[in-house]
Chain A
Amino acid sequence: MPGTNGSAPSGTQVTFLEAIKQAMFEEMERDPAVILMGEDVGVYGGAFKTSEGILERFGWERVIDTPISESAMIGAACGMSYLGLRPIVEMQFIDFIVCAFNQITNFVAKGHYLWNAPAPMVVRGPSGGGVHGGPFHSANPEMYFVHTPGLKVIYPSTPYDAKGLLKAAVRDNNPVLFFEHKFLYRRIKGELPAGDYTVPIGKAVVRRQGKHLTIISYAAMTHTSLEAGEALAKEGIEAEVVDLRTLLPLDEETILNSVKKTNKCLVVHEDTKTGGIAGEIAAILCEKAFGDLDGPLMRVTSLDTPVPYAPTLEEYFLPNAKKIFSAAKELARY
């Protein structure tokens, strides 16, 4: 992928899922304070086999199969973090994170602000649609948490970033939510360097250089946006594609730099439209780059509905390269 930073030529091609697994293995190897907890993460190796072999390597005390109790596991992880552990909690599907909404938004997120208690913990899990998982196994619930000061929210698009950002998340002193788009798990491969590395939290990256407009996206839609970018290029429209990577804190600098260059902005996300990150980006541009805009901020997002099950319905619901292409062409005309 163009713009992927740090791909070492000596590295091997691994899947997005393998990159996540490597990050967990390496962090647990590096620091005995790191433990893994979740439903079926141990014996079974995780519903998607993300933690396959971890129990055999690190043992019962560090790999904990929990009851189906999201509030309990996130609460317990928070308590563990108070004694200096760095727990990673897997949500079997990220949809289930809202079962622990109160625990995350009220207990975990507010502790440092209120009583100076850092909670170094990571909550991670498979998210997103496009695999016909239906309304409760396809969610993109990131914005519930982007609205919660005290959390960090990461949503990577490449194996390199997934590994580097997950390692950074484990080492961060704050609670970090880490969204793994399950469409990418086995479809996307990338080269990873041999040694240890991290990717900084809070930094977006330009995946494709362009001058006519900026497409801002993240996670699986980064790839869809790049696909649209290629099609646009054939029509003489050079789109710059920005991959946010971290949604909280948002990298305003990279967003502003790109839009000040192209003067037009299209935001693409798989999350539903109302209350999605596109609205926040629109507000930032109005506040800080109003004079630079030569066209309206446009957005291509999922519909404001639950994620439907039937392939025909889900495909209609989701953004795709064609929808991005059309919107970008319209925007380019301004």
Chain B
Amino acid sequence: MKKELTRQQYLDLYYYMRLNRAVEEMMVKLFRQNKIVGGLYSSLGQEAISVGTAYALEKKDWLAPMIRNIGALLVKGVRPRDVFMQHMAKYDSPTKGKDGTSHFGDLDNLHIVSPISMLGDLIPVMTGVAMAGRYLGQRIVAMTWIGDGGSSTGVFHEGLNFAAVQKAPFVLILENNLWAYSTPVRKQVPLENLADRAKAYGIESYIVDGNNVLAMYSTAKEAVEQARAGEGPILIEAKTFRRMGHAQHDPAEYVPKEMRAYWEARDPIALYEKFLTGENLLDAKGRKEIEEKINTLLAKERDFAENSPLPPPEFAETGVYCTGDDCHKIRAKWERPIAEVTPPRSSVEAVWTVPGFGSGKGSGGAHAPIHFGDTQPAETKPAEAGKSAVQAPAKAAAKKTVKAVPASASRKARR
């Protein structure tokens, strides 16, 4: 591991990993006390992924967590009490008891989109977030996570393909934790590296040691900046292991003992502590201080959560529809001149040619008009002279044709 962050950044990563684990440990206790209403999922051993990747985002960026990304939520600014209350179905929780687990979001402040249980759906949704951000001139990046199992869904393909053709500023973290419930990755995907899926979409990919928080962070940081620069979506495969069962009820006896032992010896927090100690960034005293800070915080947060009531029954009937401006004032936040996307500047002349198309004999020569045009910016002529208002997707797509990334080259992660 190479030193390249500030001391505070190194310690932030440590703090959030410890906080992630402590929040989940506390929820296991609450679960055993029957205070958790539904299921409880664990990200034990995968904290480096949630924390390292979310830490690469800026405040204005958007993320959508999956079930094992509580760490990402904490990094983005979600309070532990909200995580507790969600699981306990409390009225003060972000969804006021209408949904549980990490199924909550915050459009206005933290820029978090709530997941649903159907896997993969977030991929097109976050593609849309990324496209809208680009359209509005916000220069944001959208990030979400998916598992090895979730990468088998149709919407994973539809979403990533759409993101790729649109060159959307979108980063997808594929957490390959080797198990989708009881199904091993070998039965899920016939690939050694799930990052290879990126080849099908002509996008860049990385393979990272998911138990190395610094590798996760630096790779995600690079990917986020690439995406922000308009280079299109990026897929990062994080290789890791799901240490607990699918949820609390599942003892995961189907996992081979040797596999579990191998990964338990590679605990991401223990590995990072070793690094921090070696670099003189953390000593026993500093560690104790962080532990105490977390313990004090979580005791307070848990008490708040426990004291929150369940929602009143009739609350079930409310909120199906937005009732208008009193309910939500929906306003797009423009950070570019609106004139760029309104006529006459938005107007384009309809000339549909593809360079090189039909240049052979009898075809009408190069630049022969065709019915279904390519969106090459050379043919995009604004009605008014001046800068093209329509450069974002089209120009980016043309500037750099699809870059094929061989599997070996995709191993860009710093270890």
A residues lining the B interface (CB < 8 Å): 29, 32-33, 35, 40, 43-44, 55-62, 64-67, 69-87, 102-103, 106-107, 110-118, 120, 149-150, 152, 173-174
Query: Which of chain A's residues has its CB closest to B112's CB?
Result: A115
A173 cross-chain contacts in B, Cβ below 8 A: 322-324, 327-328, 330
B161 interface residue (CB < 8 Å to A) = yes
Nearest CB on B from A54, distance (A): 11
Q: Are B328 and A118 in contact (CB under 8 A)?
A: yes
Distance from A229 Cβ to chain B, minimum over Cβ atoms (Å): 34
Let me know if B124 and A85 touch, CB within 8 A. no
Q: Is the CB of A67 within 8 A of B136?
A: no
Q: Is B53 an interface residue (CB 8 A)?
A: no
Bound CA–CA A58/B338 (angstroms): 12
Question: What are the residues of chain B within 8 A of A57 when measuring CB–CB?
Answer: 343, 346-347
How many cross-chain pairs have Cβ atoms below 8 Å apart between A and B?
A: 204
CA distance A119 to B321 in the complex (A): 10
Q: Do the beta carbons of B343 and A29 come within 8 Å of each other?
A: yes
Complex formed: what's the CA distance from A57 to B350 in Å? 10
Main secondary structure of the interface of B (DSSP, over half): loop
Complex: A70 Cα to B124 Cα, angstroms: 10
Stretch at the interface among B115-123, B257-265, B358-366: B115-123
Question: Given the interface contacts A72-B158, A103-B155, A106-B121, does A82 sit within 8 Å of B107 by beta carbon?
Answer: yes
B165 contacts across to A, CB distance below 8 A? 67
Judge whether B372 and A44 touch: CB under 8 Å.
yes
Q: How far is A317 from B213 in the complex, measured between Cα atoms in Å?
A: 63
Contact A150 B321 (CB under 8 A): yes
Instruction: For the complex, give the distance between the alpha carbons of A55 and B348 in Å.
Output: 7
Closest A residue to B170 using CB positions? A79
A-B interface, 6 closest residue pairs, ranked by CB to CB distance from nearest = A79-B128, A75-B124, A76-B128, A84-B332, A59-B346, A72-B158
Report if B162 contacts A (CB, 8 A). Answer: yes
Closest residue of chain A to B104 (Cβ to Cβ) is: A115
A311 to chain B, nearest CB (A): 30
In the complex, B192 has a CB within 8 A of chain A: no
Q: A44-B372, A84-B333 are in contact. Are A71 and B124 (CB under 8 A)?
A: yes
Separation of A100 and B107 alpha carbons in the complex (Å): 23
Chain B residues with Cβ below 8 Å from A149 are 320
Partner among A29, A83, A150 whose Cβ is within 8 Å of the Cβ of B332: A83
Give B residues with C-beta under 8 Å from A: 94-95, 98-99, 103-105, 107, 113-114, 116-118, 121, 123-133, 135-136, 138, 142, 154-155, 158-159, 161-162, 165-166, 319-324, 327-328, 330-334, 338, 341-343, 346-350, 352, 371-373, 375, 380, 382, 389-390, 392-394
Nearest Cβ on chain A to B131's Cβ, whole angstroms = 6
Of chain A, the residue at the smallest CB distance from B352 is A43
Which one of A35, A78, A84, A112 contacts B321 once the chains associate, using CB atoms below 8 Å?
A: A112
Query: Assuming the A-B contacts A60-B393, A77-B128, are A113 and B98 also in contact, with contact meaning beta carbons closer than 8 angstroms in the complex?
Result: yes
Chain A contacts for B117, CB-based, 8 A:
106
What is the CA–CA distance of A77 and B166 in the complex, to the nearest angstrom? 13
Tell whether, in the assembled complex, residue B159 and residue A71 are in contact, meaning their CB atoms are under 8 Å apart.
yes
- CB of A72 within 8 A of CB of B347, answer no
Whether the pair A59, B159 counts as a contact (CB closer than 8 A) is no
Which chain A residues lie closer than 8 Å to B343 at the CB level? Answer: 29, 57-58
Are B320 and A150 neighbours in the complex by a CB distance under 8 Å? yes
Chain A residue nearest in CB terms to B382: A59
Could you tell me if A113 and B319 are in contact, using CB atoms closer than 8 angstroms? Answer: yes
Report how far A65 CA is from B330 CA in the complex, Å: 25
Decide if A115 touches B105 in the complex (CB within 8 Å). yes
Q: Please give me the residue from chain A that is nearest to B140 by CB atom.
A: A83
B90 to chain A, nearest CB (A): 15
CA–CA, A70 to B162, complex, Å?
10
- B162 adjacent to A76 (CB under 8 Å): yes
A114 partner, pick from B103, B133, B372, B382, beta carbons under 8 A = B103
**Of residues A65, A83, A174, which shows the largest number of chain B Cβ atoms within 10 Å of its Cβ?**
A83
Tell me if A76 and B125 are in contact (CB < 8 A): yes
Q: CA separation between A25 and B342, bound complex, in Å? A: 12
18 A/B residue pairs, CB under 8 Å, sorted by A: A60-B380, A74-B124, A76-B162, A77-B128, A78-B128, A79-B113, A79-B128, A79-B142, A80-B135, A81-B128, A82-B132, A84-B332, A102-B155, A107-B116, A113-B319, A115-B104, A117-B107, A118-B327
